[in-house]
Chains A and B, each alone.
Chain A
Amino acid sequence: MSLFWIVISQLAAVETMSTSKKVITREEWEKKLNDVKIRKEDMNRLVMNFLVTEGYVEAAEKFRMESGTEPDIDLATITDRMAVKKAVQCGNVEDAIEKVNDLNPEILDTNPQLFFHLQQQRLIELIRNGKVEEALEFAQEELAPRGEENQSFLEELERTIALLAFEDVTNCPVGELLDISQRLKTASEVNAAILTSQSHEKDPKLPSLLKLLIWAQNQLDEKAAYPRINDLSTAVLEDPAI
């Protein structure tokens, strides 16, 4: 039996030797961290980019005053964009469509899928408000022609119309369409389309950098043992487990 354990422990030793990682102590790592120069103005820009892309207009304006950072897009366009988003979130789709066209008529022209989703949302709102006749008319005149052009639109249309068949919509298989999450989804789509049309990235940079941090640490784990940040919300360095 003891021979067995000797063999096991020797195998374990060989394992550790072949996968031996470079060990970086806390002190060494902190020195490397100290050598990194992060410019305050770059961090300000990152924060401003977040505020602007996520639509915090007032906060962006205040931040510009308090920090002297210039936003990368015109703040006025944010207000317009947020108005569209809000309209969809509240179910005022007709109003939203009007606003989008005021902002830039090309957005809906060049985005058939977005336009279909907005029309679909309009249909959902009509059904939600019990306007059955209007809903049917709308579906037949506005949505069916689009469905003919595109198979997936047709499927979506049929799913939406199915809502009418149920007395108790909260329990039917397509009930999720009436959920507020559906409105939020459409609102998000519109928001992204507007940002793209303004040649602005539709996502803020900060979350990507956080993901990059997680990825970089995972990659480095394969080759080294070093102090990690495991909790992004506290940014605390945790010592390597040696």
Chain B
Amino acid sequence: MVNNQDSGGCCIDLSQFGAGRGGDDIDMEDEEEVPRYLNTINSSGGFLMVSTDKLSVQYTNVNLHGHDVGVVQANCPAPVRRVVYYFEIFVKNAGAKGQIAIGFTTEQFKMRRQPGWEASSYGYHGDDGLLYRGQGKGEAFGPTFTSGDTIGGGINYASQELFFTKNGKLVGTVYKDVKGPLFPTVAVHSQNEEVNVNFGQQPFVFDIEAFALEERLKQQMMIEKISLPLHVSHWIVRSYLLHYGYQDTLNSFDMASKSTLPPIPVAQENGFNEQGEMYALGHRRILRQLIRSGDVDSAFGKLRDWYPQIVQNDTSTICFLLHSQKFIELVRAGELEQAVKYARAELAKFFGIKPLATLLQDCIALLAYEEPVKSSVGYLLDATQREVVADAVNAMVLSTNPNMKDSQNCLHSYLEKLLRQLTACCLERRSLNGDQGEAFHLHRVLQSGKGEK
């Protein structure tokens, strides 16, 4: 974090402004491994045979007792960072006794026993339709199943339950008291039993998407009941417009608010405190428009006239951002010779400063490509980069406000602070919950949506 102490102690941290290659946050949800096939290494081989595609299992023997079950687990445990996990089996052949089971087991499971016959395991058994969960005796649960049936097993992280389905219909649920990774498990126990497994490579018979959606909606409905202070959304939007200097929008917004029915009163009447962000609104608007249009020279000029203290220190981060943007604009315009001259004159001095190194390097790298837009540093030519500079300038101007109580306020709007808190709380809550369930992603919320509410 670069300490830009010149003007009111407002620190510009480049990463805060999303500056840098691939501003996309890594979607953590995708990092989890998902079961794809059956694990042949730890299965009770000798009793069963797994097909070469590792998606089918057959009982090869004649079973004699309760310790020669042919059990096989998936290659990895069920992923947790989601609302539900689900997989299905298709009973190709119920064999002699139809003693097929589907369920979930832990890594330590004794692979010669039916899932559910040992502690920390769950099994829905086809021969008696009972659910076994760690005791010798099963509980009445659902129908039996046999050749031609498709049985599904799933984990509902929202309700902390396991659930099973038969031929597309929900059979029942049971509370999941086992914490920790659970492996999808399939078992066969009598001669000629044969089962196919589907980890999602084929469409499921059960509508798992609808099920997951239902769970999400349940939660959403509960949350909708929470009441908010009157007009708080309106206030937050207004503060946002004020903070970033969207003056025209703000004026339209205020005017329209007065003529709505019922009219939305001015902040003070609602008990909301205006933090003096009206400060320099006109200037900030002009500066933003200049930078958004690529006219960095004029922006520099205005800053020197209006807030010389901001650009006084020529090796400050804000000066770097402005100079680098000017350089980018020259590259965009194809004026490569001028760009080089500019770099030598204005960018060279930043080479020693560590936090700026990556961005500086990326900028200069633009020169290496015939079509910089298509290169790995092409992101610099995006409109979002101008936005980064505009936001930084905006923050610096706000920091010159003598009435500013908290210098950190100039960096983030209320909306941003609220969204960060929301994200952090959801992540922490999930992490304290065995990492189970979905976290909050603003981007995903914005994508979602027609009809899904």
Interface residue ranges, A against B (CB under 8 Å)? 22, 24, 29, 32-34, 36-43, 45-47, 49-51, 56, 58-59, 61-63, 65-68, 89, 180, 184, 187, 199-217, 219-220, 223-224, 226, 229, 232-235, 237
Further 15 A-B residue pairs, CB within 8 A, beyond A210-B233, A232-B228: A32-B427, A32-B428, A38-B423, A39-B23, A50-B233, A59-B253, A62-B251, A63-B241, A199-B450, A209-B418, A211-B223, A211-B228, A223-B432, A232-B414, A235-B417
State whether B453 touches A63 (Cβ < 8 A): no
Would you call B229 an interface residue if the criterion is a C-beta within 8 Å of the partner chain's C-beta atoms? yes
State whether A62 touches B261 (Cβ < 8 A): no
Complex Cα spacing A220 to B388, Å? 33
Complex Cα spacing A42 to B25, Å? 13
Q: Tell me how far the C-beta of B432 lies from the nearest C-beta in chain A, rounded to whole angstroms.
A: 5
Would you call B279 an interface residue if the criterion is a C-beta within 8 Å of the partner chain's C-beta atoms? no
Dominant secondary structure of chain A at its interface with chain B: helix
State whether B450 touches A207 (Cβ < 8 A): no
The verdict on A66 contacting B432 (CB below 8 Å), with A56-B252, A205-B445, A217-B425 known, is no
Mask, B133-176, CB within 8 Å of A = 1, is 00000000000000000000000000000000000000000000
Complex Cα spacing A205 to B453, Å? 9
Would you call B53 an interface residue if the criterion is a C-beta within 8 Å of the partner chain's C-beta atoms? no
Near A by CB (< 8 A), chain B positions 409-446 give: 413-429, 432-433, 440, 442-443, 445-446
State whether A63 touches B249 (Cβ < 8 A): yes
Q: Which residues of B contact A210 (CB under 8 A)?
A: 228, 232-233, 236, 418
Complex Cα spacing A89 to B263, Å? 12
The verdict on A209 contacting B252 (CB below 8 Å), with A41-B387, A46-B446 known, is no
Near A by CB (< 8 A), chain B positions 30-75 give: none
State whether A38 touches B416 (Cβ < 8 A): yes
State whether B229 touches A43 (Cβ < 8 A): no
Near A by CB (< 8 A), chain B positions 156-208 give: none
List, sorted by A's number, 17 A–B pairs whose CB atoms are closer than 8 Å: A32-B427, A33-B420, A40-B388, A56-B256, A199-B450, A200-B450, A202-B453, A206-B237, A207-B228, A210-B236, A213-B418, A213-B422, A215-B222, A216-B422, A226-B428, A232-B232, A234-B273
Most chain B beta-carbon neighbours within 10 Å: one of A29, A187, A209: A209
Q: Which residues of A contact B379 (CB under 8 A)?
A: none
Other-chain residue from B18, B220, B252 in contact with A37 (beta carbon distance below 8 A): B18
State whether B446 touches A216 (Cβ < 8 A): no
State whether B262 touches A184 (Cβ < 8 A): yes
Complex Cα spacing A103 to B427, Å? 44
Q: Which residues of A contact B261 (CB under 8 A)?
A: 89, 180, 184, 187
Classify chain B: how many residues form its interface, as a range: 35 or more
Q: Tell me how far the C-beta of A208 lies from the nearest C-beta in chain B, rounded to whole angstroms.
A: 7
The verdict on A232 contacting B236 (CB below 8 Å), with A22-B432, A213-B418 known, is yes
The verdict on A38 contacting B237 (CB below 8 Å), with A59-B256, A212-B422, A215-B223 known, is no
Interface residue ranges, B against A (CB under 8 Å)? 13, 16, 18, 23, 25, 220, 222-224, 226, 228-229, 232-233, 235-237, 240-241, 244, 246-249, 251-253, 255-256, 261-262, 271-273, 275, 285, 288-289, 292, 383-384, 387-388, 391, 413-429, 432-433, 440, 442-443, 445-446, 449-451, 453
Q: Which residues of B contact A34 (CB under 8 A)?
A: 13, 16
Chain B minimum-CB-distance residue to A35: B424
State whether A59 touches B442 (Cβ < 8 A): no
State whether A206 touches B233 (Cβ < 8 A): yes
State whether B241 touches A212 (Cβ < 8 A): no
Complex Cα spacing A205 to B273, Å? 24
Q: Tell me how far the C-beta of A209 lies from the nearest C-beta in chain B, rounded to whole angstroms.
A: 6
State whether A229 touches B421 (Cβ < 8 A): yes
Q: Which residues of A contact B417 (CB under 8 A)?
A: 229, 235
Q: Which residues of B contact A33 (CB under 8 A)?
A: 420-421, 424
Q: Tell me how far the C-beta of B436 lies from the nearest C-beta in chain A, rounded to whole angstroms.
A: 13
State whether A29 touches B424 (Cβ < 8 A): yes
Most chain A beta-carbon neighbours within 10 Å: one of B233, B256, B273, B424: B424
Q: Which residues of B contact A62 (CB under 8 A)?
A: 246, 248-249, 251-252
The verdict on A40 contacting B233 (CB below 8 Å), with A59-B249, A211-B228 known, is no
